[in-house]
Amino acid sequence: MPETPAHTALWPAPHASGAVDATVHVPGSKSVTNRALVLAALASEPGWLRRPLRSRDTLLMAEALRAMGVGIEETVSSSSSVAGGPEGTGEAWRVLPTGFRGPATVDVGNAGTVMRFLPPVAALADGPVRFDGDPRSYERPLNGVIEALRVLGARIDDDGRGALPLTVHGGGALEGGPVEIDASSSSQFVSALLLSGPRFNQGVEVRHTGSTLPSLPHIRMTVDMLRAVGAQVDTPESGGEPNVWRVTPGALLGRDLTIEPDLSNAQPFLAAALVTGGRVVVPDWPARTTQPGDRLREIFTEMGGSCELTEYGLAFTGSGSVHGIDVDLSDVGELTPGIAAVAALADSPSTLRGVAHLRLHETDRLAALTKEINELGGDVTETADGLHIRPRPLHGGTFHTYDDHRMATAGAVIGLAVEGVRIENVATTAKTLPDFPELWTGMLGV
Ligand SMILES: O=C(O)C1=C[C@@H](OP(=O)(O)O)[C@@H](O)[C@H](O)C1
Ligand SMILES: C=C(OP(=O)(O)O)C(=O)O
């Protein structure tokens, strides 16, 4: 019998027979791992990433940097020292920066971080770097990065659509300086230019001209991580002009960084506690973080749970009731699918606002959530910038995922409460959480 291809395989989402009670160790943050890789590659000395996320998006980032000549050694250790490095246990990546080389070819898959963060790095290479990726990557906006790099002195060949595929003709250095961009379709345009900014001859001054700017915590994450490797960054929050970020040219330090758990990937597990009236503990939840997933403490509390953050981690407890919510998610757009799943199971309607840009994520998430929840009997309508969700009794059926990891985990949350939900292509969770099915069944003890 030929095997069913992964993209059409159906995974019977486990139904929860009672309240969950589990501790779930959530792997490292995608956003922190991929920024740490880029900054380590741009540094003037070797650095370490400890407990990095190993997933499709982060392995694509590592492979792309290797293609441009960067040394990335993966080591695993159960002892107190990793390959001669400072104290630490578990998996670690040692990054050995070199000059960036071209010609090189980069596969971005469908990773926003790879397709946006690396063209500025490639502009520093000493030859052409070709970027290509999954069919969906051709549809995701990249114009802000391409146009800005041209203004800053780069030569880029694309097909004129402001998207992939493209070739950056690295010239060994980039002039840099001031540039205006409209980043209303993705905060990653701003992050991309800031991350490489210290290595441009004049640094960079990015002025966002659009009317909205999503995912501000992700821009703060970029700024925090730049400062932690010695970069000087002026921001609107540090007394600068609104919507302007300035990075001074300078060498970056190699860092020894332990990657935080991915709080957005903790979402389905916290949601499981909420919808089953159970309790889930996520160890190592950071006391202070720029990750948008930290907002879940507040959002899921408003939806009916309660939480306690201790030195050990976060304990989240459901009350047995799930309430609807009216919330602006523009800062934390990547949490929308998981919140929509919980909202579909609530005792009152929800309005999720501020997330029009989700139409340009892994898939059109507003259309996908509407269609899939409605096909299980739900009542969801799209608005100009979000979703209205009126809970109704749901029934089983196939939950299509459109190669979107967060659609798959959202479907699994619904499956806890609704019998007979089958998730199409659960393997798509490998984008950021390859162990999802095992972590999920482990949490349920099945
Ligand atoms: O910089 C980052 O690591 C990210 C920024 C956000 O992108 P958008 O601003 O395009 O939503 C977020 O949704 C994505 O998952 C990760
Ligand atoms: C939008 C997301 O990813 P990307 O980094 O590909 O933009 C996401 O993970 O929800």
- The answer to whether 192 and 145 have CB atoms below 8 angstroms apart is yes
Please report which helix (H) or strand (E) contains residue 259, including its range: none
Tens-digit pLDDT profile for residues 66-79:
999 999 999 886 54
Residue range 315-340, pLDDT digits in tens: 999 999 999 999 999 999 999 999 99
- CA 110 – ligand 1 centroid, Å: 12
Contacts of 82 by beta carbon, 8 Å cutoff, 6+ apart: 48, 50, 75, 88, 89, 92
The whole-number average pLDDT for the span 341-370 is: 98
Q: What is the CATH number of domain 10-27+261-444?
A: 3.65.10.10
Report the separation in Å between the CA atom of 216 and the middle of ligand 1, taken as the mean of its atom positions.
Answer: 9
Please give the pLDDT value at position 2.
56
- Give me the mean pLDDT over the 273-293 stretch: 98
How many other CB atoms sit within 10 Å of the CB of residue 279?
Answer: 19
State the pTM of this model. 0.96
Residue pair 219/186 in contact by the 8 Å Cβ criterion: no
Mean pLDDT of 398-417: 98
Ligand nearest to C-alpha 267:
2
Integer Cα distance of 369 and 365 in angstroms: 6
The helix (run of H) or strand (run of E) holding residue 135 is none
The answer, yes or no, to whether residue 437 has pLDDT greater than 60, is yes
List CB contacts of 203: < 8 A, sequence separation 6 or more.
176, 177, 197, 246, 247, 248, 249, 250
The model's confidence at residue 6, banded by pLDDT at 50, 70 and 90, is: confident
Q: What percent of the chain has pLDDT over 70?
A: 96
Q: Which residues line ligand 2 (CB under 6 A)?
A: 111-113, 334, 361-362, 406, 432
Residue 8 has pLDDT above 90, yes or no: no
Residue type, 89: T
Nearest CA to ligand 1 atom 15: 334
Predicted local confidence at residue 84, as pLDDT: 41
Cβ contact 424:9 at 8 Å: yes
Q: How far is CA 220 from CA 216, 242, 258, 354, 435, in A?
A: 6, 14, 18, 19, 28
Grouping H, G, I as helix, E, B as strand and the rest as coil, residue 263 is coil
Annotated binding-site ranges: 30-31, 35, 112, 140, 186-188, 215, 334, 361, 365, 406, 431
Flag whether pLDDT at 80 surpasses 50: no
Q: What is the mean pLDDT of the chain?
A: 95
Average pLDDT over residues 43-66: 98
260 counts as catalytic: no
Burial of residue 18 (number of CB atoms within 10 Å: 0-12, 13-18, 19+): exposed
Q: How many CA atoms lie within 13 A of 417 on its CB side?
A: 27
Minimum mean pLDDT among 79-88, 89-98, 379-388, 431-440: which range? 79-88
pLDDT value, residue 250: 98
pLDDT of residue 7: 75
What residues contact residue 346 under an 8 Å CB cut-off, 6+ apart?
303, 304, 322, 323, 324, 325, 389, 391
Residue 3 pLDDT grade (very low, low, confident, very high; cuts 50, 70, 90): low
Catalytic residue among 205, 334, 372, 424: 334
CATH 3.40.50.2300 fits 30-258, yes or no: no
The reported pLDDT for the residue numbered 79 is: 46
Atom in ligand 1 nearest the alpha carbon of residue 34? 3
Binned at pLDDT 50, 70 and 90, residue 88 comes out as very low
**What's the gap in Å between 218 CA and the centre of ligand 1?**
6
* Residue 153 clears pLDDT 90, i.e. is over it: yes
pLDDT score of 76: 81
CA distance 141 to 103: 24
Phi-psi group of 239: left, alpha or beta (phi > 0 → left; psi -120 to 50 → alpha; rest → beta): left
Query: How many C-beta neighbours within 10 Å does residue 110 have?
Result: 25
DSSP readout, 183-247?
A: -TT-THHHHHHHHHGGGSTT-EEEEE-SS----HHHHHHHHHHHHHTT--EE-GGGT--TTEEEE
Q: Can you tell me the distance from the alpha carbon of 368 to that of 371, in angstroms, rounded to the nearest whole number?
A: 5
Are residues 105 and 122 in contact, defined by beta-carbon separation less than 8 angstroms?
no
Mean pLDDT calculated for residue range 228-237: 97
Decide which of 6 and 120 is more confident: 120
Residue that is written with structure tokens 């999954």 in the block: 134
Segment (H or E) for 63? helix 56-67
Q: How far from the centroid of its chain's Cα atoms is residue 111's Cα?
A: 8
Tokens of 249: 């040219």
Least confident of 49-63, 70-84, 123-137, 259-273: 70-84
Q: What's the pLDDT at 82?
A: 40
CA atoms within 13 A on the CB side of 327: 24
Residue closest to 342 by CA, chosen among 386, 308, 296, 307:
296
Specify the domain boundaries for CATH 3.65.10.10 within the chain.
10-27+261-444, 30-258
